[in-house]
Structure 1
């Protein structure tokens, strides 16, 4: 008898796979009008992102629902959507969720960076076929922009301001004229006209804006929406708790950090990113996403190294890398916070945090 090996688990499946049941339910029950080329209506897409307890749809993005409304309306027009904000404010997650709702596919993604080229955005060539046949449709290798326009799907462009200006401006014709030229090909293959449903969602960190500032012409083709950090402590704590538990489960850890430990962690992050005049505000990114990452590391350390539950003291050891990676002076700020402010908080976990300050390097 032939044995079939189990399907390997993905570390992070795309949104359309993680929430396939919810997407199928919303699509099946969707009777509202849909924009041309969309997989579902604006109302259903909004419900998919913000959630609905009565329908059994989980909330996936914590933020202002009106932001979701404006983003979806933008994508239903011929203007691109630009999500800007501090690092770790879930811009990429939001773009992924919107793409999954609108197109049923969030994988047409361009990751911006200093090494990103136009070939990685639009198209490249199979060089073996190019040499043997010349520039033919069979030799062309479509990149996300080519695929998105030809198939009528949303394309995600992450960290667009990290790309050189000439690479960014390759989006001008697709966004304005909705056409992509392939000058190497003749006839109808030499022009790709965007099908209904195509649009672009780009993201940019406010700390990176100015690295390669966008041209005025490209800015005019986007609607800009700012994604703000979570303002409410309880909301942020609930998000960190849920995301850390899910990450630890994927890592084989059955015991998530206790709520008391997570409360300390979220308080620390909120204190260190606030401008309260204490002088302890970190230059490094102390975002909700970083808090989830630290909570994940705390749970891993406690389970795999001690075989027990996490303690508040584990936070110090796991925060060192998050604090020092952008600015070495932040390590001193973190030490000062642990020495001077942590002891003023009441509770055993805060005392544990204070006692663990010597775990910091240096």
Structure 2
């Protein structure tokens, strides 16, 4: 039997499919803490400077290498970290594939050592997920009591002085979102049924994420927006940055899934990234040809998924080398979400761009075969 994370009887990180950030990078976090001699905000495990090194990578005085967790503008990361040291909550906003969830998890792991205090926003998220609920068996037997109270992840973060994470804030109904206003402004949560309140300990804050494409679904009220400092995460600036992100993440996922060792296949990774960048921008890399953009999301996360699936095919059904045929099916599945309009855009891209591109003949044939 396995038990909860963060030392509360957790299974070994090697035994779980996807370790939490604080489990997977426990050694790095420990080394950073040992060498961290800068001031730490109340309740923080590391100083803001050390948190930034953890996220962007670097080398410690003893030669320990800290691998980058996020590839992006340094100033943007510094603004996000500095926000968490103030009384403002942090909203990470961006299109799909800009690593909002990834960054929020690693921020929580570095700041408070626990990334698991998470509320997943959906259209059906109830207010109890943000505030608190009740164990109704105890409530009927004993009436309102501390033992009958079921704490939300946000309430647990308040008691511990930790970071609470809220995924897809704008997917949550407006009245559920507004349950955060008192928490973020007063740093307290009234429990009128018990005639008391829970006051947040120092170190408590909230990191929320929101999808740029969800604007207009459940727009946060102006009162709630004022409680957040918004940091907009961009897509990778260059193809080199995006290839690096995909290659590093695919290697991590492959190791976690214990896929048979497969050569990195950087050429195929670069082709997948090139296709996605050109289609989502509506323009070829040389700027000469305008393209129809499919309606689906073609972000870095989708590229990682396509390459990971390709590695599995190459390892289990191929010769162990990542080839065009291994990624073609995944690309077509990612691009053609709408069988009508997206298929037209994809076929046009294949015939006007890919077919005549030097060195892409194998890729063209593989995509034609699965299309």
User: TM-score, normalising length from structure 2?
Assistant: 0.90
The RMSD of aligned alpha carbons is: 1.8
For residues 5-24 of structure 1, the aligned pairs below 5 Å read 9-24=15-30
Number of aligned residue pairs: give it.
352
Q: Which digits, 9 at most, give the CA deviation of each residue in 1:220-269, with x for residues without a partner?
A: 11111100000111121122112112222333231145122212111111
For residues 272-311 of structure 1, the aligned pairs below 5 Å read 272-276=279-283, 278-311=290-323
Give secondary structure in 2 for the equivalent of 1:156.
strand
Equivalent residue number for residue 202 of structure 1? 208
1:345 aligns with 2:351: no
Equivalent residue in structure 1 for 2:272, among 262, 265, 268: 265
Whether the 8 Å contact between 1:160 and 1:203 is mirrored in structure 2 is yes
Equivalent residue number for residue 231 of structure 2? 225
Listed as ranges, the gaps of 5+ residues in structure 2 are 1-10, 284-288
Partners in 2 of 1:184 and 1:229 — Cα distance?
A: 46
Whether the 8 Å contact between 2:56 and 2:74 is mirrored in structure 1 is yes
Larger displacement relative to structure 2 (276-285 or 111-120): 276-285
Equivalent residue number for residue 124 of structure 2? 115
Q: Offset of 1:281 from its aligned partner?
A: 2.0
Larger displacement relative to structure 2 (287-296 or 331-340): 331-340
1:46 aligns with 2:83: no
Partners in 1 of 2:113 and 2:347 — Cα distance?
A: 47
Q: Which digits, 9 at most, give the CA deviation of each residue in 1:159-194, with x for residues without a partner?
A: 0000100000000001001111112113xxx20011
Whether the 8 Å contact between 1:284 and 1:327 is mirrored in structure 2 is no
Equivalent residue number for residue 358 of structure 1? 368
1:250 aligns with 2:236: no
Equivalent residue number for residue 173 of structure 1? 182
Give secondary structure in 2 for the equivalent of 1:184.
helix
Q: Offset of 1:284 from its aligned partner?
A: 1.2
Q: 1:267 to 1:322 in 2, by over 3 A?
A: same
Q: 1:119 to 1:327 in 2, by over 3 A?
A: farther
Equivalent residue number for residue 323 of structure 1? 335
Whether the 8 Å contact between 1:257 and 1:298 is mirrored in structure 2 is no
Q: Which digits, 9 at most, give the CA deviation of each residue in 1:127-178, with x for residues without a partner?
A: 2211211111011111111101111111111100001000000000010011
Partners in 2 of 1:305 and 1:118 — Cα distance?
A: 48
Q: 1:8 to 1:262 in 2, by over 3 A?
A: closer
Larger displacement relative to structure 2 (233-242 or 56-65): 233-242
Equivalent residue in structure 2 for 1:157, among 163, 166, 170: 166
Larger displacement relative to structure 2 (73-82 or 123-132): 123-132
Larger displacement relative to structure 2 (326-335 or 203-212): 326-335
Partners in 1 of 2:42 and 2:295 — Cα distance?
A: 45
Give secondary structure in 1 for the equivalent of 2:219.
coil
Q: Offset of 1:37 from its aligned partner?
A: 1.4
Give secondary structure in 1 for the equivalent of 2:209.
strand
Partners in 1 of 2:68 and 2:12 — Cα distance?
A: 30
Equivalent residue number for residue 89 of structure 1? 98
1:138 aligns with 2:147: yes
Partners in 2 of 1:327 and 1:79 — Cα distance?
A: 44
Partners in 1 of 2:349 and 2:76 — Cα distance?
A: 35
Whether the 8 Å contact between 1:160 and 1:204 is mirrored in structure 2 is yes
User: TM-score, normalising length from structure 1?
Assistant: 0.93
Whether the 8 Å contact between 1:99 and 1:106 is mirrored in structure 2 is yes
Partners in 1 of 2:260 and 2:144 — Cα distance?
A: 52
1:241 aligns with 2:247: yes
Q: 1:130 to 1:8 in 2, by over 3 A?
A: farther
Q: Offset of 1:7 from its aligned partner?
A: 8.1
Q: Which digits, 9 at most, give the CA deviation of each residue in 1:1-47, with x for residues without a partner?
A: xxxx9987212111100100011111122111111111111111111
Listed as ranges, the gaps of 5+ residues in structure 1 are none
Whether the 8 Å contact between 1:16 and 1:104 is mirrored in structure 2 is yes
Larger displacement relative to structure 2 (192-201 or 251-260): 251-260
Q: Which digits, 9 at most, give the CA deviation of each residue in 1:181-222, with x for residues without a partner?
A: 112113xxx200111000111110110121101101101111
